[in-house]
Amino acid sequence: MSLYKPCRQEWLGRGTCLVSKIQAYLQKLYEDEHMTDVIKLSHQVSHAQWNEGEGIWELKIKNLSTGEMLTDRCHFLLDRSGILNYWKWPSIPGLERFRGNLIHSANRPEDFDYRKKKVVVIGNGSSGVQIVPAIQPEVQELIHVIRSATWVAPPGLENMKASTAGEVVQALDLDGLRFTEKQIQQFNTDSAMYRKFVKATEEVANSKFALVRPWSRN
Ligand SMILES: Cc1cc2nc3c(=O)[nH]c(=O)nc-3n(C[C@H](O)[C@H](O)[C@H](O)COP(=O)(O)OP(=O)(O)OC[C@H]3O[C@@H](n4cnc5c(N)ncnc54)[C@H](O)[C@@H]3O)c2cc1C
Ligand SMILES: NC(=O)c1ccc[n+]([C@@H]2O[C@H](COP(=O)([O-])OP(=O)(O)OC[C@H]3O[C@@H](n4cnc5c(N)ncnc54)[C@H](OP(=O)(O)O)[C@@H]3O)[C@@H](O)[C@H]2O)c1
């Protein structure tokens, strides 16, 4: 879903959890656009079976709020359940005997306080690259365990400036990589300008799909 409504003033603040703000924004969009009838939140598909005789998918669905089991049927079933939802620990012998706090980035307790602790971060994928600089100023000691090399691309904004969206992005009022209050105000009041910005940046993002299509001529 593209963020076709301007981002909120509240997103500007630092210090509070951006994730909860984005979730609240999407929740509001869901209600404002009357999507409650067509999108079922907190429902988990637990079983899907193709009925060859009737040519239909038969589903078992659990309402995670009430525990109620439901059934549904459809002619076409599109699985978009993601590849990152079922995380696992790396197979490190003896890991289960570790006596400190063992935390996986996909299942981090929100209230975990890493300050003044000795922390070991395993891995330098995107998570490791983001977590290390974020916690480093506050931990007592940090050890980053790296197995192979990684490469980091220049910031997206710099790439955008050099792209077809360059003119629109250059005209933005930014404080470093952040939109200023003035800019957010303009997004909220000038819908034509906001639409131009969204379309220009989406065009750049969408053009990158050619990279993952081996048959692409681009
Ligand atoms: C920490 C982190 C940061 C990231 N940052 C970026 C970033 O900055 N930029 C970027 O481009 N990408 C980023 N990514 C990658 C990006 O989040 C994923 O590529 C993207 O979310 C995948 O989208 P998806 O719709 O395929 O899956 P998901 O976003 O995982 O959505 C799948 C949905 O299916 C639901 N689901 C799963 N099983 C069932 C079931 N049985 N029944 C019903 N529903 C089910 C899940 O609850 C979930 O809502 C990040 C990933 C992580 C983990
Ligand atoms: N801002 C973002 O865009 C963002 C942020 C976070 C996550 N994501 C996405 O989320 C997905 C998961 O990312 P992720 O970084 O959590 O996981 P990941 O990409 O699978 O990276 C895991 C890292 O852990 C290392 N590792 C695994 N087992 C190890 C071991 N036993 N000893 C030492 N190192 C070990 C891997 O090393 P090897 O490379 O040697 O295997 C790799 O560097 C990716 O698709 C990523 O793009 C995106």
Domain ranges across the chain: 17-80, 86-145, 156-212
Buried b (16+ CB within 10 A) or exposed e, 188-216: eeeeeebeebbebbeebeeeeeeeeeeee
19, 45, 108, 126: residue to mutate for ligand 1 pocket, most atoms within 8 A of CB: 126
Do the Cβ atoms of 180 and 173 come closer than 8 Å?
yes
* Residue 153: Cβ within 10 Å count: 7
Average confidence score pLDDT of the chain: 88
Please give the pLDDT value at position 16: 54
What does the alpha-carbon distance between residue 85 and residue 107 come to, in Å, rounded to a whole number?
10
Ligand nearest the Cα of residue 77 is: 1
Distance from the CA of 135 to the center of ligand 2, in angstroms? 17
**At residue 71, what is the residue type?**
T
**At residue 208, what is the residue type?**
K
Give tens-digit pLDDT for 46-71: 999 999 999 999 999 999 999 999 99
3-state class (DSSP) for residue 207: helix
Comparing 153 with 201, the larger pLDDT belongs to 201
Residue nearest to atom 9 of ligand 1 (CA): 126
From the CB of 84, is ligand 2 less than 6 Å away? yes
From the CB of 159, is ligand 2 less than 6 Å away? no
**Res 200 pLDDT > 60:** yes
Residue nearest to atom 16 of ligand 2 (CA): 127
Find the Cα–Cα–Cα–Cα dihedral 117, 123, 128, 129, rounded to 10°. Answer: 130
Do the Cβ atoms of 1 and 25 come closer than 8 Å?
no
From the CB of 153, is ligand 1 less than 6 Å away? no
* Residue 102: Cβ within 10 Å count: 9
Structure tokens at 22: 């984005």
Work out the average pLDDT over 35-55.
94
Residue nearest to atom 28 of ligand 2 (CA): 90
List Cα–Cα distances, 194 to 31, 183, 186, in angstroms.
22, 10, 8
What does the alpha-carbon distance between residue 208 and residue 202 come to, in Å, rounded to a whole number?
10
Percentage of residues in the chain having pLDDT higher than 90 = 62
**Res 135 pLDDT > 50:** yes
Q: What is the band of 1 on the pLDDT scale with cuts at 50, 70, 90? A: very low
Structure tokens at 44: 């988990």
Please give the pLDDT value at position 6: 56
Work out the average pLDDT over 174-195.
92
Most confident of 10-14, 70-74, 88-92: 70-74
pTM listed for this prediction: 0.74
What does the alpha-carbon distance between residue 121 and residue 124 come to, in Å, rounded to a whole number?
8
